[in-house]
Amino acid sequence: MSEFRLLGPVTVCDTAGGVIAPSGPKQRALLATLVLHAGQLLSVDRLVEELWGSAPPANASNALQAHVARLRRLLPAPGHEWISTLPTGYLLAPGPASTDVARFTRLSGQGRAALPHDPGQAAQLLQRALSLWRGPALQDSRHGPLCTAEADRLEEQRLTALEALYEASLQCGRSTGITAGLERLSADHPLRERFYDLLMLALYRGGRQAEALGVYERARRHLIATLGIEPGPALRARLEAILNHSPTLTPPPHQTPPPSLHQHPSPTPRSHPSGPPQFPDPAGSRGDRTDLMTPPTPACTADPPALTPLTPLTALTGPAACATSAGLTGPGASVGVPVGSPGGAGLLPDAGAVCSDLTGSVGPTGSVGPTGSVGLTELGGSAGFADPAGVAGSADLAGELAHLRARIEELARDQEDLLRRIQREQAVR
């Protein structure tokens, strides 16, 4: 059975498995328009507008007729008349042929329906649906209003499927390994609050509460700067749940683990064309990325790490400085940034009374100081930083530590701002 493929470059797969690609953008746009409206009569005027817009050639009807004739010669299955000429226009009769759009719609709908009761099965279905995407929908064929509107509709469906896929992963108890994809999605779709919501939950379950709160603040700043509005009720409810350590944030009981999700292509937007890119991974964006589509599959087999109790912490350290819940001591500890609410409920894990000589050497396990009194992996990991053990032997260790301190400072400022705002809102209530 032949299949028309629109989730990427417009092509036709014939019954022998060969791929037929129209040679020019006008041919592809015409084929896409006819397939999208298969079984419907499209007038000559609508097709001319779709191909040439407001500047059609003088002999537009003849030019359109020539394009239709080329398509007829190109399409497979002798004996089947794909395109019929009627007095006022043209009609494509699909016959037994299918489309990848229909398959995607069916699989993604089944996946979303299975999500509440079987997230493992939902992940499998959604993965299969997203694997059909080979690039931006109707790539290089969106010249007129018909294809443009359809491409936007399909992109919205793709993003909705991605949201459901990440939710299935979290419902299976998987929080690690999916945050990178959610970070990219929230950056590429900064007005889509659902990606922030899922990212906050994944970070919290991974023991990265401070970063989860930072994601909310980032979302809030962008929404205010762009639209002049605060985050919606769902995102605010997620913030309250994290601050109160709500039991609803814990992962559900184990589910049957789905198979691994492979990585798939991510569309590029019309506004930032990058040619026919290679799409190695679909976590999804309308930005000019080629590495974004689906997350790793939820491995519903392991609980996330236990969350560390939160107490006030002074986060900056200097050479030979000691970081405790009371503050900084020692030479070089001239600046301290309290990271916690004035009432005493802090937002970063308590560092205890660990001291480090930041001028010391880096040990084989990532520890710093001549006696290995504190590990960089412990300090960086609690705030969600990359494991700095790889800086061992680096000539620029001081720069790495300066960057680490700057990131902690930034988190501290964000948390203080957030706590002050929450206290003001609670006082108003």
Q: 44 pLDDT exceeds 60?
A: yes
Length of the chain: 429
Q: For residues 193 and 277, which has the higher predicted lDDT (pLDDT)?
A: 193
In this structure, how many other beta carbons lie within 10 angstroms of the beta carbon of residue 180? Answer: 13
Higher per-residue confidence, 175 vs 4: 4
- Does the pLDDT at position 335 exceed 50? no
Does pLDDT of 345 surpass 50?
Answer: no
Count the neighbouring beta carbons within 10 Å of the beta carbon of residue 84: 11
Residue 359 has pLDDT above 70, yes or no: no
Only one residue has tokens 């970081």, namely: 323
User: How deeply is 222 buried, as exposed, middle or buried, from its count of CB atoms within 10 A (0-12, 13-18, 19+)?
Assistant: middle
Radius of gyration of the chain (CA): 27
Q: Do the Cβ atoms of 223 and 229 come closer than 8 Å?
A: yes
> What is the rounded distance in angstroms from the CA atom of residue 185 to the CA atom of residue 195?
7
- Contact of 200 with 238, CB cutoff 8 Å: yes
Which pLDDT score is estimated for 403? 67
Do residues 57 and 101 touch, judged by C-beta distance below 8 A?
A: no
Report the pLDDT averaged over residues 80-94.
91
Rounded average pLDDT over 416-428: 77
CA proximity to 162, closest of 195, 116, 206: 195
Q: Is 78 exposed, middle or buried (0-12, 13-18, 19+ CB in 10 A)?
A: exposed
**pLDDT of residue 334 exceeding 60:** no
Say yes or no to pLDDT of 255 above 80.
Answer: no
DSSP letters spanning 143-196? -SHHHHHHHHHHHHHHHHHHHHHHHHHHHTT--TTSHHHHHHHHHHSTT-HHHH
Mean pLDDT of the region 376-400: 41
From residue 214, alpha-carbon distances to 35, 219, 347 in Å are: 46, 9, 11
Mean pLDDT, residues 209-234 taken together: 96
| pLDDT for the residue numbered 396 | 53
Residue spans of beta strands (DSSP E) within 14-156: 19-20, 42-43, 83-86, 89-92, 98-99
- pTM value is 0.63
Whether the pLDDT of residue 5 is over 80: the answer is: yes
Instruction: Quickly state the pLDDT bin for 290 (edges 50, 70, 90).
Output: very low
pLDDT of residue 38: 93
Q: Is the pLDDT assigned to residue 423 strictly greater than 90?
A: no
Token pair of 186, please? 């929230």
Share of the chain above pLDDT 90, in %: 48
Tell me if 421 sits within 8 A of 245, measured CB to CB.
Answer: no
Q: Residue 2: what pLDDT? A: 84
Burial degree of 325 (CB within 10 A; 0-12, 13-18, 19+): middle
How does pLDDT run across 159-213, given as a tens digit for each residue?
999 999 999 999 988 887 899 999 999 999 999 999 999 999 999 999 999 999 9
Strand partners, 83: 92
Q: Where residue 140 falls among pLDDT bands split at 50, 70, 90? A: confident
- Which of these, 196, 283, 280, lies nearest to 242 by C-alpha position? 196
Q: Please report, as a single letter, which amino acid is at residue 273.
A: P
The rounded mean pLDDT for the chain is 73
The rounded distance, in Å, linking the Cα atoms of 319 and 331 is: 7
Average pLDDT for residues 230-251, to the nearest whole number? Answer: 94
Say if residues 10 and 2 touch (Cβ distance below 8 Å): no
Higher model confidence: residue 73 or residue 156? Answer: 156
Averaged over 38-42, what is the pLDDT?
94
